[in-house]
Amino acid sequence: MALRKLGSRGSYLRARHVLAFAATPIALALFVYWPFRIAVYGTDLFRTGGPDGRGAGDVTGWIFYGFVVWALVLLVIGVRTVHGWTWARSLAGVALTAAFAAALAVVVSVLYAF
């Protein structure tokens, strides 16, 4: 209902499918990227400091961010296609949602630290 009020031409089910298909790069990272990183760094990956925290560890960390950007790009394309929105409106909608999710993650991590 909220999507209709925002001017969407797509259905809730199609929007849900777009989100699932856009998450494919993240699933791919779980099966390709993470086993590789665990094989390289072993248990040091799960501890603070160590060889995974500098140099090549940072590079492999940024590779995961590449998977996240890939998923966000697919999400913008899917939102534009399903809802019939312009590129700017689709990008703004996904950016607003991603900013909300990031803020929620920061709040949870701050609360978890205490």
What pTM was estimated for this model as a whole? Answer: 0.79
Beta carbons within 10 angstroms of residue 64's beta carbon: 14
Ordered alpha helix ranges (H), the chain: 2-5, 12-22, 24-28, 34-41, 56-83, 87-113
The pLDDT score that the predictor gives to residue 42 is 76
The pLDDT score that the predictor gives to residue 3 is 63
The pLDDT score that the predictor gives to residue 18 is 93
The pLDDT score that the predictor gives to residue 93 is 85
The pLDDT score that the predictor gives to residue 53 is 58
The pLDDT score that the predictor gives to residue 110 is 92
Residue 48 φ/ψ, nearest 5 degrees: -75, 140
**Mean pLDDT, consecutive 10-residue segments, the chain of 114 residues?**
68 88 94 84 71 66 90 94 90 89 93 82
Whole-number Å distance between alpha carbons of 85 and 42: 45
